[in-house]
Amino acid sequence: MKKILFISHDAYRAGGQILLINLAELILLFSDYEVHFLLKNGGELENDFKKLAPTFCLYEQKKGNRFFKKKSIIEDSLFLNQYDCIVSNTITNGDILGIIKDNYKGRIITYIHELSMASKTFTTNKDLLKVITNTDLFCVPSSLVKEFIIKDLNILKNKTFLLPYYIQNKEILETQIPLKIQSFIIGGCGTIDWRKGPDLFLQVAQQLFVKYPDISILFKWRGATNGIELERLNYQLEKANLTNKVFFDLATDTLDSFYNEIDLLLLTSREDPYPLVVLEAASFAKPTICFDEVCGSIDFINKSDGGVVVPFLDIPAIVSSILLFYEDELYRKQKGENAREYLLGTHSNKKYVYDKFVELIERAINA
């Protein structure tokens, strides 16, 4: 049985970490691979990793908030070379990949979930170069990420591999569907940082209500955290008289009730490699609107016909698309069903994703 070591930069509740757990759970279902985890840092999902497979933590917290690195594991050739392949789950692990490569004889795969701005935000040029030079095969979730690493990072096309995300199928029962209030609900989801575009979400609402002040629509964003960014958003809501029409709700562990409640997912991200929320919304048969050029979800939306792609930063185009979904229930439901059907054949198809993973590992090992 082949052994795979997955490296996660931390165990916080975010898309990349959740998707890594999903992938590992899928792999273990088929019993062909043994899976271990290496966490650079901890977080609230650490127990989820540990329950699933043997988990090693590279960093231990000591003396207040300072972190001290334990190098023994990544410098231990005996430990590292028990694995047939190592998969690093982010572009931000350059600080340790060089050390690992010096002590490991096998192949290293880097699964890149980031684009240009995220790379500049979460890693350094020095560490990014270490990722590039110490990776044997680059794995990506979307054509947009593939284009980024080929054009911006000068990665050879034959060193890239498209591996789809895996999410479990949601069986939606009639008893789980809440009684619908009168308003049409547009959902936004994610952190409230600049890349996710919560300010653009607000701008869409503002332009919509200027044109149609009496329209029965609510905008609900899930995923905010307390702090100055949320205060700024709420300040703008108040000044634009949108307090009872637009809501930025705090993040929660589960989003099922959120997806059940909304009619449409509005993704206003300025940069998003292949957001998990689009797949989760599709599992509830909810269509998505996103921007072209900057969002990897254009792959999913175009292939599934499960939503609408509009030009980058074209707020009027979003408003027009919302009105079409609002006014034509059959159109909205068809787009939602299209998204769900495509999801069931791809991202929620266990064998489809698993076979792709096997192809990835065999290609890396035999390269």
CATH of domain 2-166+349-366: 3.40.50.2000
pLDDT exceeds cutoff 90 at 63 = no
> What's the pLDDT band for 171 if we cut at 50, 70, 90?
low
Domain chopping of the chain, boundaries: 2-166+349-366, 174-345
Helices assigned H by DSSP within the chain: 15-30, 46-52, 77-80, 94-103, 116-122, 125-133, 143-151, 198-211, 228-239, 256-261, 276-283, 298-304, 315-327, 329-345, 350-366
Q: What is the pLDDT of residues 293-338, one digit of tens each?
A: 999 999 999 999 999 999 999 999 999 999 999 999 999 999 999 9
Cα within 13 Å of Cα(56), Cβ side: 15
Backbone phi and psi for residue 202, each to the nearest 5 degrees, phi listed first: -65, -40
Give the C-alpha separation, 244 to 265, whole Å: 19
Read off the amino acid at residue 1.
M
Q: Report the pLDDT value the prediction gives residue 72, as an integer from 0 to 100.
A: 75
CATH topology identical between 2-166+349-366 and 174-345: yes
Percentage of the chain beyond pLDDT 70 is: 93
**Furthest-apart CA atoms within the chain: distance in Å:** 68
> What's the pLDDT band for 14 if we cut at 50, 70, 90?
confident
Q: What is the pLDDT of residues 177-189, one digit of tens each?
A: 555 556 899 999 9
CB atoms within 10 A of CB 235: 10
Residue 274's closest CA among 359, 121, 147?
147
The 8-class DSSP code of residue 175 comes to: G
CATH 3.40.50.20 fits 174-345, yes or no: no
Q: Report the pLDDT value the prediction gives residue 252, as an integer from 0 to 100.
A: 84
pLDDT exceeds cutoff 80 at 64 = no
Q: Report the pLDDT value the prediction gives residue 180, as an integer from 0 to 100.
A: 53
Give the C-alpha separation, 67 to 278, whole Å: 35
pLDDT exceeds cutoff 60 at 69 = no
Listed as own residue / partner, the contacts of 71-77 with beta carbons closer than 8 Å and 24 or more positions apart are 71/99, 73/38, 74/38, 74/99, 74/100, 74/103, 75/99, 75/103, 76/103, 77/103, 77/104
Residue labelled with tokens 């064998």: 351
CB atoms within 10 A of CB 117: 13
**Rg from Cα positions in the chain:** 21
For the entire predicted model, the pTM comes to 0.89
Give the SS3 label for residue 180. coil
In this predicted model, which residue has the larger pLDDT, 58 or 350?
A: 350
Helix (H) or strand (E) holding 291: strand 288-291
In this predicted model, which residue has the larger pLDDT, 57 or 254?
A: 57
Q: What is the mean pLDDT of the chain?
A: 91
Q: What is the pLDDT of residues 289-305, one digit of tens each?
A: 999 999 999 999 999 99
> What's the pLDDT band for 101 if we cut at 50, 70, 90?
very high
